[in-house]
């Protein structure tokens, strides 16, 4: 029963009793009876006024409670000139102002944090209480090359992606550096925050690829420049001396032949060092609108003769519509040439190792819009899991007499363009070089 109902019931009962008693006591004396009735009416009036004064704060509180329940913090009350009510109104209005200020501040902070998470260059993956992915920012989708719809709501244990598998083993406060394909490097750190009294975990994925590549290039670039400078200076002087010696040894053909071989070897060394130096001095790309399909057709015409010499077929699967991208035409053309050249050499190595096999050499060049990518696939010797981890390390090579310049050049060009790339041998024994635009 409400307080208001109890108070009214009490007043009705007490005044009914008073009326009955006055009638019983003063029924023989009408004057006393009338006076008592006047006092009873006055008591009813005073009780009614007290009722309003006492119930008004309760009504005020109930109105405020309803407004707060509806999350409406704009409802405020005016003072009515009564001390107790005015004090209560001051407290309520001050509380509403504070709640409105805190809610506005909280919403601003939430909006700021949401924008910060969404635009952060660091991938942020938030888990729920059951270690299912509750929220991610666009950077995570970019890193994993997977749309948000395929990630949210699923457990990190449900995926076979190397990065998510590594994340699933992280402990709170632990960080781990993970390298993919020997080139893409990420630092993953797991932490937590308190949500409704329970810890919720989140993982930050920071890409270190650009910083590591820059540090590597700075390190080997300095060494190569020093080597090229010293070698070129020495070769010039040595060749000059050898030329003079040849002129003095015209009658001795054996010595003359040996000196010519030495000069030729020096020229080869000079050419070798120039290749290194040219890679270090690779200019910044000058992007323009390029039809990748047309570039591929021209490059394939160039490489067809080289492939036919080793009985290798170039299979072309290009999109019907023009495949327009923004890239440096000359640098991207060199990348495609190097990839096809490596594919041809891989098939040649496979044939040398297995001369009895009847498997024909095949290189497939494929473009697609969904996803927007170029794939160059070959059935060559393949890449071992160990080699795959460091295939894009500077000057790494699996060839006996290789220098590792080709893949290093490919890496530099693609990184400078901001294209994603990967090179691996699939379960079907086909090696695919994938470039995403």
Q: What is the structure's pLDDT at 281?
A: 66
- C-alpha pair distances (Å), 182 with each of 374, 382, 387, 403: 20, 16, 9, 17
End-to-end CA distance of the chain: 72
Under a CB-based contact definition with an 8 Å cutoff, are residues 423 and 390 in contact? no
pLDDT at 323: 94
DSSP class of residue 335 equals H
Q: Is 133 exposed, middle or buried (0-12, 13-18, 19+ CB in 10 A)?
A: buried
**Token code pair at residue 148:** 């948000």
- Higher-confidence residue of 83 and 216: namely 83
Please state, in angstroms and rounded to a whole number, the distance separating the CA atoms of residues 361 and 169. 42
Higher pLDDT, 69 or 429: 429
Whether pLDDT at 182 is above 80: no
Provide the pLDDT for residue 289. Answer: 94
Place of tokens 């057709």: 297
> CA 44 → CA 13, 37, 51, 52, distances in Å?
11, 10, 10, 12
Q: Using the Cα atoms of residue 188, residue 191, residue 196 and residue 198 in order, give the sign of their dihedral.
A: positive
pLDDT of residue 187: 86
The two structure tokens encoding residue 154: 């699923």
Mean pLDDT of the chain: 79
Cα(155)–Cα(132) distance, rounded to whole angstroms? 4
- Is the dihedral angle over the CA atoms 139, 140, 143, 146 positive or is it negative? negative
**Does residue 233 register a pLDDT over 70?**
no
Over residues 93-127, the pLDDT tens digits come to 888 888 888 888 888 888 888 888 888 888 888 88
Q: What mean pLDDT is predicted for residues 388-395?
A: 68
Percentage of the chain exceeding pLDDT 70: 76
Please indicate whether residue 75 or residue 399 has the higher confidence score (pLDDT): 75
**pLDDT for 108:** 85
Q: What is the pLDDT, as a whole number, of residue 376?
A: 95
Domain positions in the chain: 3-107, 120-207, 211-280, 288-436
Select the more confidently predicted residue: 218 or 316: 316
Q: Please tell me the distance from the alpha carbon of residue 295 to that of residue 301, in angstroms, as a whole number.
A: 10
CATH class belonging to 120-207: alpha beta
pLDDT at 104: 84
- Give the C-alpha separation, 190 to 171, whole Å: 7
Q: Look at residue 373 in the predicted model and tell me its pLDDT.
A: 94
Find which of 69-78, 280-289, 389-398 is predicted with most confidence, using mean pLDDT. 280-289
The pLDDT value given to residue 432: 92
Nearest CA to 273 among 403, 137, 99, 420? 403
Q: Quote the longest CA-to-CA distance of the chain.
A: 170
382: left (phi over 0), alpha (psi -120 to 50) or beta: left
What phi and psi values does residue 356 have, to the nearest 5 degrees? Answer: -85, -10
What is the C-alpha separation between 272 and 270, in angstroms, rounded?
Answer: 5
Task: Average the pLDDT over each of 29-43, 223-237, 295-309 and give the range with the smallest value.
Answer: 223-237
What average pLDDT does the segment 83-99 reach? Answer: 80
Chain-centroid distance of CA 113 in Å reads 16
Which residue did the predictor score with more confidence, 227 or 257? 257
Instruction: Provide the 10 A C-beta neighbour count for residue 262.
Output: 15
Q: Is CATH 3.40.50.720 correct for 288-436?
A: no
Q: Quick check: 276 pLDDT over 80?
A: no
d(CA 96, CA 109): 20
- Tell me the DSSP string of 352-364: HH-TT--PPEEEE
* Number of neighbouring beta carbons within 10 Å of residue 201: 20
Query: Distance (Å, rounded) from C-alpha 316 to C-alpha 293?
Result: 10
How large is the average pLDDT for residues 299-311?
89
Distances (CA, A) of 304 to 313, 334, 337, 436: 8, 16, 11, 25
For residue 199, CA distances in Å to 144, 164, 195 come to 26, 20, 6
Q: Which residue has the higher pLDDT, 396 or 337?
A: 337
User: Whole-angstrom Cα distance, residue 51 to residue 346?
Assistant: 98
* Tokens 């449900």, located at residue: 158
20 pLDDT more than 70: yes
pLDDT band at 148 (very low <50, low <70, confident <90, very high): confident
User: Hey, what long-range contacts does 351-355 have (CB within 8 A, 24 or more apart)?
Assistant: 351/310, 353/381
Which distant-in-sequence residues (6+ apart) come within 8 Å of 110 by Cβ? none
pLDDT band at 367 (very low <50, low <70, confident <90, very high): very high
Please tell me the number of Cα atoms within 13 Å of 132 on its side-chain side.
7
Indicate whether 363 pLDDT > 70. Answer: yes
């Amino acid at each position: 029963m409400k307080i208001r109902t109890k108070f009214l019931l009490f007043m009705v009962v007490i005044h009914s009793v008073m009326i009955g008693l006055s009638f019983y006591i003063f029924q023989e004396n009408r004057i006393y009876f009338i006076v008592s009735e006047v006092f009873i009416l006055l008591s009813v009036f005073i009780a009614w006024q007290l009722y309003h004064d006492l119930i008004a704060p309760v009504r005020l509180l109930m109105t405020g409670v309803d407004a707060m329940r509806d999350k409406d913090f704009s409802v405020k009350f005016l003072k009515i000139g009564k001390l107790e009510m005015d004090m209560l109104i001051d407290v309520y209005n001050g509380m509403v102002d504070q709640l409105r200020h805190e809610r506005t501040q909280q919403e601003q902070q939430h909006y700021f944090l949401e924008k910060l998470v969404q635009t952060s260059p660091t991938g942020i993956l938030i888990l729920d209480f059951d270690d299912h992915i509750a929220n991610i920012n666009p950077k995570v989708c970019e890193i994993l090359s997977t749309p948000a719809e395929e990630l949210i709501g699923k457990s990190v244990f449900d995926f076979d992606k190397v990065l998510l598998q590594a994340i699933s083993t992280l402990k709170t406060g632990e960080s781990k550096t993970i390298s993919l394909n020997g080139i893409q490097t990420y630092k993953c750190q797991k932490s937590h925050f308190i949500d409704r009294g329970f810890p919720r975990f989140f993982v930050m994925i920071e890409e270190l690829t650009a910083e590591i590549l820059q540090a590597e290039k700075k390190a080997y670039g300095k060494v190569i420049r020093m080597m090229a400078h010293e070698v070129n200076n020495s070769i010039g002087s040595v060749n000059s001396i050898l030329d003079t010696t040849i002129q003095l040894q015209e009658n001795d053909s054996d010595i003359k032949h040996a000196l010519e071989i030495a000069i030729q070897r020096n020229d080869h060394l000079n050419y070798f060092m120039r290749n290194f130096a040219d890679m270090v001095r690779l200019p910044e790309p000058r992007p323009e609108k390029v039809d990748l399909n047309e570039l591929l057709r021209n490059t394939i015409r160039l490489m067809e003769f080289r492939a036919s010499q080793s009985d290798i077929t170039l299979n072309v699967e290009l999109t019907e519509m023009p495949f327009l991208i923004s890239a440096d035409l000359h640098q991207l053309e060199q990348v495609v040439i190097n990839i096809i050249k490596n594919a041809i050499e891989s098939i040649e190595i496979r044939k040398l190792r297995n001369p009895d096999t009847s498997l024909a050499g095949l290189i497939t060049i494929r473009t697609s819009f969904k996803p927007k990518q170029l794939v160059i696939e070959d059935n060559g010797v393949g890449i071992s899991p160990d080699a795959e981890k460091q295939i894009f390390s500077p000057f790494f090579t699996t060839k006996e007499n290789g220098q590792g310049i080709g893949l290093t050049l490919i890496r530099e060009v693609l990184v400078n363009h901001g294209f994603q790339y990967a090179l691996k041998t699939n379960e079907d024994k086909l090696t695919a070089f994938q470039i995403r635009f």
